[in-house]
Structure 1
Amino acid sequence: MASNPPAPAAPFVPSTEPFGFAGPRPDEGPFEEWNPTEDSVAPVRGRHRVAKQRGGGLARSSTVLGVGVIAAVGAGGMASANTGKPPVSISMPDIGSVSHVFGGSSQAPKGSATALSSVGVTTQDTRQGARDAGEALRDRIMAQAESQQVQIDSKAQSVTEAALAKQVDEAAAKAEKDAAAKAEAAKDKAEAAAKKKAEAARLAELAKQYKLPVASYTITGTFGQPGSMWSSGYHTGLDFAAPTGTLIKAVHGGTVKEAGWAGAYGYRTIITLDDGTELWYCHQSSISVSVGQKVGTGDVIGRVGATGNVTGPHLHLEVHPGGQAEAIDPMTWLRGKGLNP
């Protein structure tokens, strides 16, 4: 009976360690955490070739084709955005190592500056990229123009607002000036009215102290009238025409300076007032006072007559301030005393 051949010896002694990680073995040192860095990892050198896939064609090389298309479109768009400049060429080193991916031959020398815009990109794609770049440029120009227009509108609005504010200020200043002028005019008017009232009161008070020389009369001659019948060439007094014998009264109280015949003046009486003014009463038919006599306002001093150089009975009244030889207008002087002949 044949026996089985002996079993071959085991190539290694099976380990009696438990399955899985149970810590470092005796012949290993302690474990440490390892964080790889650029210095601790050696760079990978050599070419990285892309293995040709079965079936070939651009459809199976989606990664490489995507990178090529993106680069081509980007280069075409950048070139077309600069009007008048030739397309930018991008060189692709070692094109022969990946030429089988695009189904062509590796006849181009390594490091060739073949433009990627002609790889996998159609004329329509190039035109579309140019249109997109042009639209982007147009949008940028439009945005710039809109920003400038906003600045112009803002500046114009500021100028308009400044002009409007100036007009408002000018109108306010004019209104204030007009109001001040009106207030000043009203003040002046009030002051004038008050002054007029005060003057009226003063004249009313003076009227009590002064009196017209004749009660019933007609003014037949005024001061300054020219004529050859007067030696001075003009009339020097105020004539109160009244019937002969009409009473003549003192205009104001004073002292009799003269009473008697005075040539062309006929019978004349001169009374000196307290302020030195002389009143001449001329052409009297009779005199009722004597020199040095004190008379009061309204006292009878004589009667109307037609003595001297006259054409009819009347009282000729003259006013000589301070006793001077030249006479002044009696009408003005009487009105200044509150009387109105």
Structure 2
Amino acid sequence: MASNRPAPEAPFIPAQRETETFGYGDHRTDEGPWEEWNPTEDSVRPVRGRHRVAKQRGGLARSSTVLGVGVIAAVGAGGMASAHTGKPPVSLSMPDLPSVGSLFDDSSASDAARATTPTLSKVGVTSADSDRSGNAGEALRNRIMAQAEQQQSKADSKATAAALADAEKQSAAAAAKAQKEAAAKAAAAKEKAEAAAKKKAEEERLAALAKEYKLPVVSYTITGTFGQPGSMWSSGYHTGLDFAAPTGTLIKAIHSGTITQAGWAGAYGYRTVLTLDDGTELWFCHQSSIGVSVGQKVSTGDVIGRVGATGNVTGPHLHLEVHPNGQATGIDPAPWLRDKGLNP
């Protein structure tokens, strides 16, 4: 049976060894130099049946390709790490491989070697880099914790400020309430004091007036009041205040003034009109006798007549009427007398 034609071997040309090595302190014989293999159409096209490509020296051609890819990946990883961490690039080192060509060996020894070979993701990573990565993580954690503590401190400060503001607001409200209550108490006390002062002043005024005003009779009984209804009065109601007393009881001037009328007045019987300085007229009616004349000046307490039963009466009494400013219709004499400090 015919076999495939073997591929021609490329001539071996020693290469100039580089002055620098990759990852080791000196030159290693298993790193090359190697010859460059440039396959052609004749060398790779199969003739008939099964075929295979002859191994190059120790299979180092394919190993160099794989090694180049690993170097590029390692260098790229180192660059990305440097760009990510912002640190200066670190030198890369390759692991101590027993035989690069053994990576393509079909034997179980190659499998064992591959199992013990470090992965490219760990190529060039030193313990110092691991420490720096751990320190960076710890620094990031510390920075996050510091930020969290700062935010918590700000939140606590805001809560404290809010509590202080609320306390100040409550204190201001309490102070305003206390001030309002104090003002109300002060106003009430002032009003009470003013009322007391007013009452005292009124008492003093009435005491002084009592010296100027006197009741018309000393011993008497009130038998008729102002406004009392009855058919015996032409107006339909009583128009004055009746002081019942025995006939002949002295009638005195309530206040100083001038006698403007003195004589018979029909239903009023004998009547005397005393006009005060403010124009108020005092009518003294039903007298048994008159003791003054028109135009006469009298003072408080002067006798002007005597109690009788003349005119339209049912018994002896003094009928007193008060007419402010001389008006025809009189007012209730009782309040007027009390205003003068007299209590009929």
Over 3 Å counting, the alpha-carbon distance change for 1:138 and 1:309 in structure 2 is farther
From 248, 273, 277, give the equivalent of 2:276.
Answer: 273
Shift of 1:310: 2.2
For residue 191 of structure 2, what is the amino acid of its counterpart? D
Secondary structure at 2:261's aligned position in 1? strand
| 2:259 counterpart of 1:256 | yes
Shift of 1:320: 0.9
Over 3 Å counting, the alpha-carbon distance change for 1:135 and 1:298 in structure 2 is same
Aligned equivalents of 2:266, 2:19: Cα separation in 1: 160
Over 3 Å counting, the alpha-carbon distance change for 1:334 and 1:51 in structure 2 is same
Aligned equivalents of 1:139, 1:91: Cα separation in 2: 26
| 2:144 counterpart of 1:150 | no
1:47 corresponds to which residue?
A: 20
For residue 201 of structure 1, what is the amino acid of its counterpart? E
Contact 1:226 1:234 in 2 (8 A): yes
Aligned equivalents of 2:262, 2:341: Cα separation in 1: 27
Aligned equivalents of 2:231, 2:141: Cα separation in 1: 109
Contact 2:258 2:274 in 1 (8 A): yes
Aligned equivalents of 2:166, 2:304: Cα separation in 1: 81
Over 3 Å counting, the alpha-carbon distance change for 1:91 and 1:159 in structure 2 is closer
Aligned equivalents of 1:131, 1:314: Cα separation in 2: 127
Aligned equivalents of 1:306, 1:47: Cα separation in 2: 162
Over 3 Å counting, the alpha-carbon distance change for 1:290 and 1:129 in structure 2 is same
For residue 336 of structure 1, what is the amino acid of its counterpart? D
Contact 2:250 2:307 in 1 (8 A): yes
Aligned equivalents of 1:238, 1:197: Cα separation in 2: 29
1:167 corresponds to which residue?
A: 170
2:293 corresponds to which residue?
A: 290
- Please identify which structure carries the higher helix content: 2
Normalising by structure 1, report the TM-score.
0.63
2:96 corresponds to which residue?
A: 102
**Alignment gaps of 5+ in structure 1:** 1-44, 54-67, 80-89, 109-113
- Number of residues of Structure 1 aligned to a counterpart in Structure 2: 257
Over 3 Å counting, the alpha-carbon distance change for 1:253 and 1:116 in structure 2 is same
Aligned equivalents of 2:314, 2:120: Cα separation in 1: 141
Shift of 1:262: 1.3
Contact 2:91 2:124 in 1 (8 A): no
Aligned equivalents of 2:214, 2:164: Cα separation in 1: 73
Shift of 1:249: 1.0
Shift of 1:139: 5.8
Deviations 1:215-270 (A, max 9, x none): 01122222222333222222221111222222111111222222222122122111
From 195, 201, 211, give the equivalent of 1:192.
Answer: 195
Secondary structure at 2:325's aligned position in 1? helix
Secondary structure at 1:259's aligned position in 2? strand
1:218 corresponds to which residue?
A: 221
Contact 1:266 1:283 in 2 (8 A): yes
Contact 1:91 1:116 in 2 (8 A): no
Over 3 Å counting, the alpha-carbon distance change for 1:129 and 1:304 in structure 2 is same
Aligned equivalents of 1:265, 1:338: Cα separation in 2: 27
